[in-house]
Amino acid sequence: MIWAIYAVAFFFFGMGVYALAWPEGIVRLVGTPSLTTAGRSEVRAVYGGFGLAIAAVLLLGLRSPEIARGIFLTVAMALGGMAAGRVVSRGIDGEAGPNVRLFLVLEVVLAAVLAAAFVWRPEI
């Protein structure tokens, strides 16, 4: 189970670094060709800074068993909320494309991994 948590942390770390370095790259994945200065700031904050913070807190959970379960549950719920937002958006706006479907699946899988870690009760 520990390797799976490292994998989730690595995903968030990669997303964070990518968003900080190239915010347009993030939004191009969903068909947005360019951003304003404010848009780049938003992507860097939400995908970049938040992604790096989530990676760090997951790694903290691996080193701090007394808070690990709370961390894993919180991040699992955040991912579940993201996936639910995509489902609602699809219901309102229709299909958004293959990358959005991929992100939905990825969010559900990562949430499931962290929910399993919550149940697992790690002795780290």
On whether the CB atoms of residues 75 and 54 are closer than 8 A, the answer is yes
pLDDT tens, position by position, for the chain (124 residues)?
789 999 999 999 999 999 999 999 999 988 888 899 999 999 999 999 999 999 999 999 999 989 999 999 999 999 999 999 999 999 999 998 899 999 999 999 999 999 999 987 655 5
By the 10 Å C-beta count (0-12 exposed, 13-18 middle, 19+ buried), 118 is classed as buried
The amino acid sitting at 110 is L
Which tokens is 42 given? 């938003």
